Structure 1
């Protein structure tokens, strides 16, 4: 018969361990819902680790919360091994630095430096973990996904409106394309940066078709400083971070990154003021260099004149003795 988790059972388990009894059997931890109705469904999962960092008990749905490491979850598994495998698998697309940061957070969570840890952002995880410690040092971690993401259609639509409103209010141009080069979304700032084709920047528009219209409108103006840019824009491969000058003279920093789904996201930042400051600074430096050279020439001329005068004086002096 399956043993259910309760304060009594936990105490009995602890006593059995102290008396040398075997504790290898997995104890299914079913939390009691509010009202005490046994067997009612719940979304929480639990895991219990002893003072040595070994997994001693866990709930039936614990593996459902962490499917990427389900094969590693068993009684006796080390906490450190579980988090290493979790970060390695869920953070497969992360940089080494990002994986190290997540490992440090999970370790700090175990040590009690972080009593609650939001795992949203670690791969596909959308859960939070809460740590509790018993008097004997046993650690209990409870996992909850109920508040990680909206669940109802109204909540999803509300979050969607909030996100789009925030993106629309930023000072940078933002545009998102699907894997086929079709626009999914762009904000108002992006359309402001390209007034020549603003009316074409709508969901579903083809990126390359819009670019063709854009270059037809600005080609003559842009030809003197944008050689090669039109050709480069035919590729759907993200270009990373580049700087481009628009036909109206404005300078943009363009940052293009791939999306997990094979699409492309781009952010355009107006750096015209920065470029103007750089130009001004360059001009000042040029003038300072010219003035420095002039001073060097004047100094050399003065030295030559001084030497000439001194030599002439010596000749006059010697003439008195000849």
Structure 2
């Protein structure tokens, strides 16, 4: 397996990226890394003893910043680290693209350079999230920002894409698909939601269980939850902000409390640490831009080496599952059926 890495993307690049890659290189003997970026910054971080057979540095002075307009940057900065990494995937030199950089530019790189699977209208951005209270159980949420404006047909396809990921990567035999809505009853929601509900319920290939409310996201009732990109992005950021806020609130309450509160804090320290680990996005990998002809994975811009390592672990699992090949075959067969 060969992963093309945008080593200059992210708030802590290239240090966090390189440190995470070194952790992954030690853990996974079957993965090679192509690091695109400033060699003068990257190589000292790798050290003199790094395995040059497994880690290769491709130098470029150009990079895409967080302030760049995504599509314009991808088209004008042809030698940017992210664009070169995407081109390596396009040309078959690498199997997957990984970046912690500009999300919009990564979406544009995926669409303009790597390309969509034929038959998929719009790829979606899909994170893997933990189910609360059920150890090692996860679910996927799609779309969380690749498409601010979505059609019902897009949301239907998100259900198909998410089901494939849940089945082949997460190992769930018959993934339960639900539509994020403002009520669980049929007929609830906007015109978009009602039309999406209809398309999802009519698809016999899906194990569709109906609407789900936002408060039930982490219940484990659904393995795949679909929505439009605007709503999904707002929900994901609300989740992140609430989790950080609650942890800060608990910490402040203990620190500013009396002696009894501090002693209680010591007693529940391990339990609070477990809660923090469960809600830590870095332990669950990155968000997959799913629906392209190769895996494109985005981790958080503030990702540290641990987040990078777990995202590499996720990419390895995706590549091992052959889920992209199965999706290509599925949509090619579907297109052929429609033509006939």
**What is the TM-score of this pair, normalised by structure 2?**
0.26
Task: Answer 1 or 2: which has greater helix percent.
Answer: 2
Q: Which structure's relative contact order is higher, taking Cα pairs within 8 Å and 6+ residues apart?
A: 2
**What is the TM-score of this pair, normalised by structure 1?**
0.27
CA radius of gyration, larger in: 1
